[in-house]
Structure 1
């Protein structure tokens, strides 16, 4: 198992970060991709990945932080992207749900990061919420210039999934699918995702799977729970767990070019 989305720089992990990583590896997780969500967090994620075995990171600016994008942002991300630990540009994309940055600011930062990824020949790690049509319109001109792209923490509709798959995107599935209140639509469309386009992630410390038994004492999600998410996905897809485990690992290697 490989967790493609882990916010290890979160303050929620500040007191026991080493123990969190150790528990993940003890639980069978083979590798971790640490998410960079702004320039400071991207630098921190790269430093953590440099210091922890079997960890890599992304470098990017989340749509929430797009208002802070400047020409210097490209230069800083370029420098980070040229370190061996950074294997993707992002988390980048659009989020029109909260609009912490204006749509125009988000579109500018997203396009700049797509251009950077294309220049460097790197995959992109993306976010989209309530912005599907705008997201695809900005992304599509770059797809033939990128080696790969994943829409992380996918929670959209069947049609949105098909739109992304038709364009060659990978989809990252989290513990959202384990939520009996809001994850049922995602659960039902799991079988339409080709196995060679599926990636798994926790997005920890967020999105603790609600169906874990016994229920964890803390509401904080951890990468050690990735196995539960993968087992549930395999069950709902009607596939053997070990086979899907191996397939998703292969997908990680193909998209991010990592060895683990």
Structure 2
């Protein structure tokens, strides 16, 4: 079945649009070098209120993901439709907890980058020494590592730790962001990962050489980077630009 017929005949236009955006996010993660072989996941709710979600087929690299290859699953990570693609249901444990608890969490992105893991293992977490860290850090939560996330009991603790935040450092594990759109979750991840990378680099100069921002600046940046303005930046400005970049490089994510 062609991607076009699948889009037109097997799902709503709204679902297809989410599939295209999620496939684009997978490709962008790979393009940035944020992927970890076939591991970690990016997930999104399927519009319609049926508690169905989209996730990657577990046998594909992120650079191979397409809109039609994404697998539709339920809250337990079980495929809704017949599929030959394996699905890592255990890997959906973290995502399902947040999707269930937060109506605004239509997208959940989780990564294992070296910089993200490094900062997640630092006792002080994300330091407010760069602009991107101040943008990401005002909305950050922390969750202690409990081993590979296969224990469903962990979901309650994860949700409690996240609270109303949209960014999380999973201690000794990696990074996580949520968003009401895939674009918003992606931009939050971009700021978080850039902040982690900068922190690892600046700490090589030694802590004695760090210059802290003046008092009150972090609070000012928080006010400047919250509210509807950031949604406009992600949904209407940055995301369309990123999709154009993908279209120039390889538009097959849309198939």
Considering the TM-score relative to the shorter chain, is it more than 0.5? no
Which protein shows a greater Rg? 2
Task: Report which of the two has the higher share of strand.
Answer: 1
Band of TM-score, shorter chain: under 0.3
Query: What is the TM-score when the length of structure 1 is the normalising length?
Result: 0.27
